[in-house]
Amino acid sequence: MPTDMNTAKHYNANAEQYHQHVTNPSDSIFHSQYEKPAIRAELPNLEDLDVLSIGCGSGVDSRWLADNGARKVIGIDISSGLLDIAKRENPDISFLEMDMEKLDFPDESFDLAYSSLAIHYVDDWTPALKEARRVLRPHGTYVFSCGHPIDTAVEYTKDDQAKYAYLGRKIELETGKRTIFGDYLVVKDGGVKPIEGTLGDMEVVVYHRTFGKMIEQIRSAGFTIEKVVEPQPAPDMQQANPDMFEQLSRIPAFMIWVLKK
Ligand SMILES: C[S@@+](CC[C@H](N)C(=O)[O-])C[C@H]1O[C@@H](n2cnc3c(N)ncnc32)[C@H](O)[C@@H]1O
C-alpha cells in the first residue's frame, strides 16, 4: 500500500512549519543531534556521485549533499508544499514531485540513493526498494534511515498527568495476571501494523514492521545488506537535552541501513 493520503496532506498543510522546524537545530534535535549525524556518517565520499534524495522534504538534505561534494543531486517527494520550499531555497538543485514507489528515471541513473526518515511511510518496502535498486548503477549504494521497530512497537496512552509509551508487561504479584503493552510481532495486513499519532501531534501514518520483515523486504528487492546502525545520540545532546539523551542512549528511535546493489 502506498503512503497514506493523510501523510501527504499533513506535509502539504504544514510545509512552512515543517521547514522552520528542520532548519532550527535546537528545535529539531531528533534530526540535528541524532539522525542526521548518524546517517551522514554512513555516506560514501560524495565526489563524482549522482545522488537521488528520496522523500527529500523541503530540501535540507539535498542542500547538504550538494554542498558536500555530490556531482548532481535530484530530490523527489510527494508533498508539493515541501517541494515548493525546496525549489525556493535551492534554485540550483532539481526537485520533482514523484512517489518513491514509481520513480520516473531510466535504469541505472544514480550512484547513490539517500533517504532520511521517509520509507516508514509505506507499508511494504519492497516496491520502493525495487525502484531505488533499478535506478542505481551497478554496485550503487542506498543509505536510508527509518523508525526503529522497538519504537514503533510501543503502545501509546495518556492521562491527565502524562503521556506513556510502553512495550512490556505487568504481572500482578498476587494473582499472576499479565497485562501486555505494545505489539512487536502482531502481524496484520500482510505483516505490518499502521500506527497513528506516533509523531507527537503529527497526523501522519507510520508503519511498524519487525526486523525480520525489514530484512525480508530488503532481500526480496534484490539488495545486499552492508551495514545496519542503531545510532547513539550525538554528544552535544547530553547538554542540550539530558533527558532525551538518556532516552535515546537506552532506547533507539531510528535506525540506518546501508544497502548495495
Ligand atoms: C519526515 S519527512 C523527512 C524529509 C527530509 N528527508 C528531512 O529529513 O527533512 C518525510 C518525507 O517523506 C515524504 N514521503 C512520504 N511518502 C513518500 C513517498 N511515497 N514518496 C516520496 N516521498 C514520500 C513526505 O512527503 C516527507 O517529505
pLDDT-based confidence at residue 201 (cuts at 50, 70, 90): low
Ligand 1 near 217 CB (within 6 A): no
pLDDT at 216: 97
Q: Model's pTM, two decimal places?
A: 0.94
pLDDT in tens, 106-129: 999 999 999 999 999 998 899 999
In angstroms, the CA 113 to CA 43 distance is 10
136 C-alpha to ligand 1 centroid (Å): 19
- The pLDDT of 234-256, averaged and rounded, is 96
177 C-alpha to ligand 1 centroid (Å): 42
pLDDT in tens, 134-162: 999 999 999 999 999 999 898 888 889 98
pLDDT at 6: 79
Task: Please name which of 224, 44, 61 lies closest in space to residue 133, comparing C-alpha atoms.
Answer: 224
Ligand 1 near 86 CB (within 6 A): no
Sole residue written with cell 499472576: 176
Cell of 129: 526498494
pLDDT-based confidence at residue 252 (cuts at 50, 70, 90): very high
- Angle subtended at Cα 126 by Cα 122 and Cα 132, rounded to the nearest 5 degrees: 90
Torsions phi, psi for 150 (to 5 deg): -65, -40
Residue 193 scores a pLDDT above 60: no
pLDDT at 207: 86
Q: Residues 6 or more apart from 9 whose CB is under 8 A from it?
A: 203
Ligand 1 near 22 CB (within 6 A): yes
CA distances to 67, 135, 139 from 102, in Å: 27, 11, 21
pLDDT in tens, 81-104: 999 999 999 999 999 999 999 999
Q: Show the beta-strand stretches assigned E in the chain.
A: 50-54, 72-77, 94-97, 110-115, 136-147, 155-158, 163-166, 168-171, 178-181, 193-196, 205-208, 224-229, 254-260
- The domains of the chain, with CATH numbers, are 5-148+209-260 (3.40.50.150)
pLDDT at 249: 98
